Structure 1
Amino acid sequence: MKYQTRKKALMLLADGTIFYGKAVGDKNGTAFGEVCFNTGMTGYQEIFTDPSYFGQLMVTTNAHIGNYGTNSEEVESDAIKISGLICKNFSYTFSRAIADQSLEEFLNKNNLFAISDVDTRALVSYIRDNGAMNAVISTEVDNIESLKEQLKNIPSMDGLELASQVSTKESYYYGDENSSIKISALDIGIKKNILRNLAKRGAYIKVFPYNASFEEMKAFNPDGYFISNGPGDPEPLVDAIKTAKDIIANDEVLFGICLGHQVIALANEISTYKMHNGHRGINHPVMNLLTGKGEITSQNHGFAINREEAEANKNIEITHVHLNDKTVAGIKMKNKKVFSVQYHPEASPGPHDAEYLFDQFFEMIKVKVN
């Protein structure tokens, strides 16, 4: 054990429930956020840097975290985006040929507070039963009443707009400028592997801030449009919803992932709602209703679109359904070149069953171009 005596720590949920553990490393700390859990066995570095997790305390259900270290290439944004980490066993040593540092060093460089030795099985079971809620992790184990008061001031994820805090401040380009296909992407929390998947299929992408208008995106003269994943409640994203409406009205090719999927639904007057505890993991089963085939998918979302409203909308066809709870996992617009999914076809981490969706996007673009 690297640290023979580690500081006591706790996790305090908004309803007053407490789980005890120990601080990772030798520092004091406190972190607030909505508690959520991810069931993935691997991919912790990609999860921690995914902008969709901004403002959340991450519980990892895998028993060992940190055992394969970190690699500078395996990130989904420029920094860690979770608010804090809760795990069972934290590995201070690691074994992996391509790792360039330990997870502890990675967390310290990003100034992230983490606690371990928590009964994560009991914690996840509690969240499943009682729903996602705000929480705090801290070494201030003797100041529980003070932590309770501070926790009251943390805003609920329901109604919270977070895309502006993770989106790019200025537009930028990605890919080969000599590519024949150009795509305008709206960044409301975009993952790097989405851009990699677009670029490797021959696209030159211009990435726009969360509040960019259709006119701004159109000025790039793109062949297709994309709306990314991201954190928080989709309903406050009035600019993105307006942009999606304008893209659709102009009969453009449009693809949306996760938060982008929800924005496209809202642009079609389909409401969204906060889920009991969300879907977060790399083995979620989805049925493709168009092909009749099942897909194992990577998911990360705490909101979903209203299925009854989607079924009643004459312009919408439900294309994918989550097999665990029958929530909508994909839609497309009838008589429009618009589709979206409530999961991550780019994976990172996760399986590649759904990578065909990027190919589908490019096929639609090529039909339009030709």
Structure 2
Amino acid sequence: MKKHTSTDAILLLNDGTVFTGKSLGRIGTTGGELCFNTGMTGYQEIFTDPSYYGQLVVTTFSHIGNYGVQADEVESDRIQINGLVCKEFSHHFSRHTAKGSLQEYFDKAGIVGICEIDTRALVRHIRDKGAMNAIISSEITDIEELRRKLEEVPSMEGLELSSHVSTQAEYDMQPEEVKYRVAVLDLGVKRNSLNNLVQRGCAVKVFPYHTPFEEMEKWNPDGYFISNGPGDPAATTVAINSVKQILEKSKPMFGICMGHQMLAQANGIATYKMHNGHRGLNHPVKNLITGRSEITSQNHGFVVDAQQLQQHPQVEVTHINLNDNTIEGIRMKGKPAFSVQYHPESSPGPHDSTYLFDDFVALLEQNK
């Protein structure tokens, strides 16, 4: 394994706060929205989650890289984060099945990061001040020059990013025995969502985010899956229009994360940017239909407006977050459509919520 030589690195926040540390990954400069994830494991799945596109991720767990990387633990075909901020970055790994180090993985992908900073102090700062843009550099030491570059980083609010992570061409996945056909609108889909559908007998065809509804209908799907994805849901207007047309046809529909926000937007219910968002493997959610609670995996910076939702005659709340009472799930009245804000594909994370895929399959059966 090639020895990595760390250099000094700087993290500059939009409010002028500066942290100094050491470089990780490729030597360079990168910017994006700074957010933190509280998960203790699953860093490779996090880094390859398309919903993190355009963001700098702070990991609150103190050791990152200690179990290396392997090919089957990815959620997409590349690293999606713009940069990494962590406490201790391990250049050595101990897992015997790992195929390489995280340093080699980042270096090959051109990912810039910073380590050996006080991440507890950083997380407390952005927890109080809110998510904000930041810039990491291991090549520029002049703060004023970094500040000028930081001004060029776009705000996440109003930013459409699904077009950057969606597939460019249709593709399909087949189970051994096909029971249902599910069209997937790819806003930044995670591989394990597709795996969960295939495992339940669904032949899936994944369509680029801008695919017209009429084009997807030609495949004659039994239902639609609207995936997770990055950016501001209100700016993802192409997908909102597609969801409106799916609802008009009363086709079964299941949305996750961005897909959940698309269902709300399609019904005229607003979304807004949160102070910090939810990112981690330990968020408690209550299912209001069953009365049961589940521990969930989450990654989102926008949320559905609860007040507008409560006034809507055709949409009802099915799940709420027990930490802050934000909306975690909704369903249509009189139409076979539902969605959740969190990630029931559970990669990484607990498996409490995989029943939602079973609920979707039951809808497909009822409406076939």
Settle same-fold status: TM greater than 0.5: yes
In structure 2, distance between residues paired with 1:353 and 1:58: 25
Q: Deviations over 1:255-288 (max 9, x none)?
A: 0000000011000000000000100000000010
CA separation of 1:4/1:85 partners in 2, compared to 1, >3 Å: closer, same or farther? closer
Structure 1, unmatched stretches of 5+, are none
Q: Deviations over 1:169-195 (max 9, x none)?
A: 111111238512100010000000000
In structure 1, distance between residues paired with 2:303 and 2:61: 25
CA separation of 1:261/1:107 partners in 2, compared to 1, >3 Å: closer, same or farther? same
Q: For residue 82 of structure 2, what is the aligned residue in structure 1?
A: 83
Alignment of 1:6-21 (within 5 A): 6-21=6-21
Q: Does the 8 Å CA contact 1:8/1:141 hold for their aligned counterparts?
A: no
In structure 2, distance between residues paired with 1:11 and 1:35: 10
In structure 1, distance between residues paired with 2:111 and 2:320: 36
Where has structure 1 moved over 4 Å in runs of 4 or more?
2-5
Q: For residue 345 of structure 1, what is the aligned residue in structure 2?
A: 344
- Read off the aligned partner of 1:12 and give its amino acid letter: L
SS at match of 1:24: strand
Q: Does the 8 Å CA contact 1:177/1:204 hold for their aligned counterparts?
A: no
Q: For residue 221 of structure 1, what is the aligned residue in structure 2?
A: 220
CA separation of 1:215/1:145 partners in 2, compared to 1, >3 Å: closer, same or farther? same
Residue 5 of structure 1 and its aligned partner are, at CA, apart by 6.2
Q: For residue 116 of structure 1, what is the aligned residue in structure 2?
A: 115
In structure 2, distance between residues paired with 1:201 and 1:178: 9
- Read off the aligned partner of 1:120 and give its amino acid letter: T
In structure 1, distance between residues paired with 2:5 and 2:17: 25
Matched-pair identity in %: 57
In structure 2, distance between residues paired with 1:231 and 1:195: 18
In structure 2, distance between residues paired with 1:177 and 1:353: 26
Q: Deviations over 1:84-141 (max 9, x none)?
A: 0010000111111221111111111211112110110000000100000110001245
SS at match of 2:233: coil
- Read off the aligned partner of 1:324 and give its amino acid letter: N
In structure 1, distance between residues paired with 2:294 and 2:301: 20
- Read off the aligned partner of 2:75 and give its amino acid letter: E
Q: Deviations over 1:297-346 (max 9, x none)?
A: 00000000000111110101100000111000000001110000000000
Residue 23 (str. 1) matches residue 16 (str. 2): no
Q: For residue 185 of structure 2, what is the aligned residue in structure 1?
A: 186
Structure 2, unmatched stretches of 5+, are none
Q: Does the 8 Å CA contact 2:56/2:83 hold for their aligned counterparts?
A: yes
Alignment of 1:1-370 (within 5 A): 6-24=6-24, 28-140=27-139, 142-176=141-175, 179-369=178-368
Give the total of aligned pairs: 367
- Read off the aligned partner of 1:147 and give its amino acid letter: L
Residue 71 of structure 1 and its aligned partner are, at CA, apart by 0.8
In structure 2, distance between residues paired with 1:294 and 1:93: 38
In structure 2, distance between residues paired with 1:231 and 1:308: 24
In structure 2, distance between residues paired with 1:5 and 1:282: 32
Residue 28 of structure 1 and its aligned partner are, at CA, apart by 2.6
Residue 239 of structure 1 and its aligned partner are, at CA, apart by 1.2
Q: Does the 8 Å CA contact 1:175/1:203 hold for their aligned counterparts?
A: yes
Q: Does the 8 Å CA contact 1:244/1:264 hold for their aligned counterparts?
A: yes
In structure 1, distance between residues paired with 2:253 and 2:344: 15
In structure 1, distance between residues paired with 2:4 and 2:201: 52
- Read off the aligned partner of 1:204 and give its amino acid letter: A
TM-score normalised per structure 2: 0.98
- Read off the aligned partner of 1:164 and give its amino acid letter: S
Q: Does the 8 Å CA contact 2:186/2:207 hold for their aligned counterparts?
A: yes
Q: Does the 8 Å CA contact 2:175/2:199 hold for their aligned counterparts?
A: no
Q: Does the 8 Å CA contact 1:32/1:154 hold for their aligned counterparts?
A: yes
Is the deviation greater in 141-150 or in 176-185? 176-185
In structure 2, distance between residues paired with 1:128 and 1:3: 35
In structure 2, distance between residues paired with 1:8 and 1:148: 18
- Read off the aligned partner of 2:45 and give its amino acid letter: E
In structure 1, distance between residues paired with 2:213 and 2:101: 43
Residue 230 of structure 1 and its aligned partner are, at CA, apart by 0.2
TM-score normalised per structure 1: 0.97
Q: Does the 8 Å CA contact 2:167/2:208 hold for their aligned counterparts?
A: yes
In structure 2, distance between residues paired with 1:159 and 1:132: 15
Is the deviation greater in 264-273 or in 108-117? 108-117
Residue 147 of structure 1 and its aligned partner are, at CA, apart by 0.7
